[in-house]
A and B are shown apart, each in its own frame.
Chain A
C-alpha cells in the first residue's frame, strides 16, 4: 500500500474544462493492492485487486492469470516453460516488470508510463528460463490498463500485439550480478472513425444585442462519416542492470533502459498517425543508481528522458521549424526501509517544453514535485 503526500509546482486551485481539480498538493492513496496467488508444481495462478484515490476512490481488478508450467531444475530456478493466460504485466524491458514494492523511485520513468501505461494488459504468454537465459513472448490486446485514450481492458481491433523479451541473468562471482535483455513489440493501434453530421446553421449573437443580424450566421457543412482503421506500431528496447555488493555499507545497483518506438504512446501524447498524417516516433531512456546505506537506508538518483514526437514542428516567427517536445526528470530519492514497509521522500526536477517565454518560444512550464510516501507490506 502506497500512501502519498505530494506538492506539485503546477497545482492551481481551479478546475480543468472537464471539471477535474487542478490542485495536486494533496494526500493520496496511490495504490493499495491485494494479491492472492497459488504456486503448484505444474499450475500457478494469481489475482490482484487495486484500489486508489488518484482520480477519486476507485477499485478495480488489475491482474488475473492462470498458468501451466514445466518447473525448473530447482525451486530457485525459473520454470523452463510457463504458459499463462489472463491479465498480466507486459513483458517488455525491465521497468515494466519491476514490482512497485521493489522500486525505490515513486513512479516509473516518463517513457515507460507513456508507452506502457498501467503495465497490465490482457493476453497469453509463454515465458521461462534455462540457466542464465530468460525469455518471454506474449500476444496481447494492446490496450493497457492505464491508457488515457482508447479502450483499456477491451480491444477495438482483432489484431493482437506481439511482445517479448530475451535476456540473461547471471552472477559474476559472489559480489556482482548482471541482468540484460532486448525487447520488441509489433502490433496495431486503432484510429476511431467519425459519425456523419448534418449541415447546420449556427447563429452567434456576436454583438450581444439580442437581435438577429445576417452577419451573425455561419454554416457548418455536413460531412460524411469516416470508417475506423488500424495503424502499425512497433517498439524495441534494451535494458541493463548491474548490482554490486562491494561497498561495506550495502549493495550498489545501477540500471538503465532505452526505448525506441513508433506510434506507441498511449498516455502522454497519444499517437494517432491517421490524424496527424505521419508516423510518430518516440524515444525514451533512463538511468538510475541506488545505494543501500546499512540495513535501513537507501538513496538513489534517476535521470529519465522522453521525446513523444521526434518529428514535431512549431511555427516561430512565421517559420515552421523542428520543435522539441522532450520531457526530462531528475529524481532524488531517499528511503528508510524495513521488512514491513518503507518511508520514501523524493524530489523531482521536471523539465518540459510546455510553456512559452516572453519571446514566444517554448520553455519549461514549472512542474517540480516533492513527495513523501508511506509504504506498508502485508
Chain B
C-alpha cells in the first residue's frame, strides 16, 4: 500500500519547490514497518517488553481459525485514570503474540508471549502493565484479546467485561476538584452539620463522611437512611505523592444536602516535584452548575499547615 502511494507522489513532482514538498511528504509517509504513533491518544495504554502500539481498532472475527486465547486476567473494576494495573493471560501453544485492546478504542497493542504457563503447560502466557486515560468513557467496556500464530494467523477474540468509573463521582450535590499535573492537592469542604444545632463538619481526606462519630450507647451503627444522606469524600488522589493518575477529589451527597452555609477550600499538600498545578473547582446541584472557580498552585502554597481547616478559601455558598 505504501509503495503505491509513494509512486504516485513521485510522479506528481513538477518544480523544485514541489520536489521539496514532495520529498517531505514522502519522508513522512513512505517506508514499511511498525507505526511510531503514540498510544497517548488511546483509552487503554499498555507497556512492557516488546509491547507495540497499533493505531487502529482491534476488531473481532469469531470465525477466525487462528490460535485461541484461553484466559484473560484483569481487574473488573477500574477508574478512568488508573495506573499500574496488570493485564495477563494464557494462550494456546504456537502463539507468538497477543493483540489486546479495548472494544471501540482508537488503537490496540501487540503483546509478545513471555513464556510457558507453568500451571497449564503447554499453554503460553502474556503480560503487560496497563493504565487508563482519564478520558476513558465511564460505564461498561470490553477488553478484547486475539492470539496470533507464528505464521501470522489471528485467532478469534476473547473478551472480558470491565466496569470503568468516571474520574468524578455523581450525586445530587457534587463538589469536585480536578487538576492537571501529578501534584498532591486536597479538597476540603466545610458543611452544615447533618444534626441540627451542631457545629459544621469538615469533609476532607482526614474525615471522609459528614456522619458524626457515635458510640453504641448513643445509638450504635448508622442506618441506611443516614448513610444515604451523608456527604462522602471519595478519594485522596496522589496522597503523599503516590501517583494514582486520578487528579480529582470529590465530595458528594446522594440525597438532598443539608441546608446551610458551605465553604470549599483547596489545600496544596505537596507539589510532588511539579512546578505548578492548574486546578478547577466545580459545584453542581441536581446536575446544574452553581459555582466554578479556577486557580494555580505552586510551591509557595505548600508552606501552610495541612490538617483540618487547611487550604485556600475558594468558594462559599448557601443552600
Residues of A near any B CB (own CB < 8 A): 7-12, 14, 22, 25, 202-208, 210, 314-318, 345, 347, 349, 354-370, 372
Contact = CB atoms under 8 A, between A and B. Distances in A.
Given A204-B242, A317-B95, A366 B24 contact: no
B79 interface: yes
Contacts of A12: 36-38
B192 interface: no
A333 to B, nearest CB: 12
Interface stretch (B113-121, B183-191, B220-228, B278-286): B113-121
Nearest to A354: B34
Nearest to B33: A364
A8 B30 CA distance: 11
Given A7-B24, A358-B152, A208 B79 contact: yes
Rank and list the top 10 A-B pairs by shortest CB-CB distance, nearest first: A360-B97, A355-B34, A364-B33, A370-B27, A356-B52, A360-B112, A10-B36, A14-B38, A12-B38, A7-B24
A317 B97 CA distance: 8
Interface string B28-55: 1111111111101100000001111010
Main secondary structure of the interface of B (DSSP, over half): mixed
Contacts, number: 136
Nearest to B154: A358
A208 B32 CA distance: 42
Contacts of B208: 210
B148 A364 contact: no
Interface in B135-162: 148-150, 152, 154
A75 to B, nearest CB: 43
B84 A316 contact: no
A92 B77 CA distance: 59
B115 A370 contact: no
Contacts of B95: 317
Contacts of A316: 96, 112
11 contacts: A202-B242, A206-B85, A315-B115, A355-B35, A356-B97, A358-B97, A360-B96, A360-B148, A364-B34, A365-B34, A370-B23
A311 B250 CA distance: 53
B12 interface: no
A315 B235 contact: no
Nearest to B110: A356
Contact of A357 (B24, B29, B110, B242): B110
Contacts of B98: 360
A26 to B, nearest CB: 12
Contact of B165 (A9, A208, A315, A363): A208
B80 to A, nearest CB: 10
Contacts of A202: 242
A345 B27 CA distance: 12
Contact of B99 (A207, A318, A358, A366): A358
Nearest to A346: B23
A204 B154 CA distance: 36
Interface in B207-262: 208, 233-236, 242, 244, 246
A203 B243 CA distance: 11
B132 to A, nearest CB: 11
Contacts of A204: 84, 242, 244
Contacts of A370: 23-24, 26-28
Contact of A7 (B27, B36, B112, B115): B27
Contact of B33 (A206, A207, A366): A366
A205 B35 CA distance: 34
Contact of B27 (A347, A358, A361): A347
Given A9-B36, A360-B113, A364-B32, A317 B236 contact: no
A202 B37 CA distance: 34
Given A11-B36, A345-B23, A357-B110, 5 more contacts: A206-B85, A208-B82, A316-B112, A318-B124, A358-B54
B311 to A, nearest CB: 19
Contacts of A7: 24-25, 27-28
Given A360-B97, A364-B32, A318 B110 contact: no
